Amino acid sequence: MTRAILILTAVLGLSACDEPASPTGKPKAAAPTPMAVTRAPARPTGPGTVVLAVAPDALQEAASVSQFHAMPRLNAKIFSVSGGDPAANGLMTYLGLFGGPAEGWRVYPIGDFSAWRVVEAGPGKIVAATRQDAAGPEGDILNRAGHVHIAFDWRGETPPDAISVAITN
């Protein structure tokens, strides 16, 4: 009897997770399903294709990208490239604002961190939790947690020439 109640509770709980119908009464589009993870075949099914390296200038910077957070509703992204001191910090971090196909991306430096993650994003404001490392008095590495507050005034189609970056520890 207890098992039947548990099963009924689970079924009712799962059925309550469905999204409500849209205000127009039309059914909502189904959410995309994740790719099924399957085991790779033990051997290739055919010969490999020869792929040449891209010209050094073409994607060299892109190969350095080590972290990325897209914000499509804001036409923005934050990304880091490897290149700082690998013992302390090392993630040269930037904000990119997309001005459209003709303009492309405007990129603004926002800091050198050892780790970061976006915790808030909205029109004209992005906040990321950060960790910065510094050498201590004994030569040890000290970790400082903080936030980087990014503010930008974007009116029209062209991203601003400058943004405001404030780092708090």
The answer as to whether 76 is a domain residue is yes
| Alpha-carbon distances, residue 118 vs 11, 40, 83, 93, 128 (angstroms) | 35, 34, 21, 12, 4
Is the separation of the CB atoms in 125 and 150 below 8 Å? yes
Q: 3-state DSSP call for residue 158?
A: coil
The answer as to whether 147 is a domain residue is yes
Q: Give 66: exposed, middle or buried? Use CB within 10 Å, 0-12, 13-18, 19+.
A: middle
Query: What is the pLDDT, as a whole number, of residue 29?
Result: 55
Q: Give the Cα separation of 58 and 88 in Å (integer).
A: 29
Query: What is the pLDDT, as a whole number, of residue 36?
Result: 63
The answer as to whether 33 is a domain residue is no
Query: What is the pLDDT, as a whole number, of residue 48?
Result: 81
CA 146 to chain CA centroid, Å, is 18
Query: What is the pLDDT, as a whole number, of residue 120?
Result: 96
Query: What is the pLDDT, as a whole number, of residue 52?
Result: 82
Q: Considering just the CA atoms, what is the radius of gyration of the chain in Å?
A: 23
Q: Which residues of 98-120 are buried (b: 16+ CB within 10 A; e: fewer)?
A: ebeeeeeebebebbbbbbbebee
Q: Give the Cα separation of 169 and 143 in Å (integer).
A: 11
Which range of residues forms the domain containing residue 68?
60-168
Show the tokens assigned to 152: 């930008």
Query: What is the pLDDT, as a whole number, of residue 18?
Result: 45
The answer as to whether 94 is a domain residue is yes
Under DSSP, the state recorded for 125 is E
The answer as to whether 25 is a domain residue is no
Phi-psi region of 100 (alpha: psi -120 to 50; beta: other; left: phi over 0): left
The answer as to whether 119 is a domain residue is yes
Which parts of the chain register pLDDT below 70? Answer: 1-38, 40-41, 58, 83-88
Query: What is the pLDDT, as a whole number, of residue 14?
Result: 42
The answer as to whether 50 is a domain residue is no
The answer as to whether 87 is a domain residue is yes
Q: Give the Cα separation of 78 and 27 in Å (integer).
A: 35
Q: What is the pTM of this model?
A: 0.65
Total domains present in the chain: 1
**pLDDT, tens only, 90-109:** 888 999 999 999 889 999 99
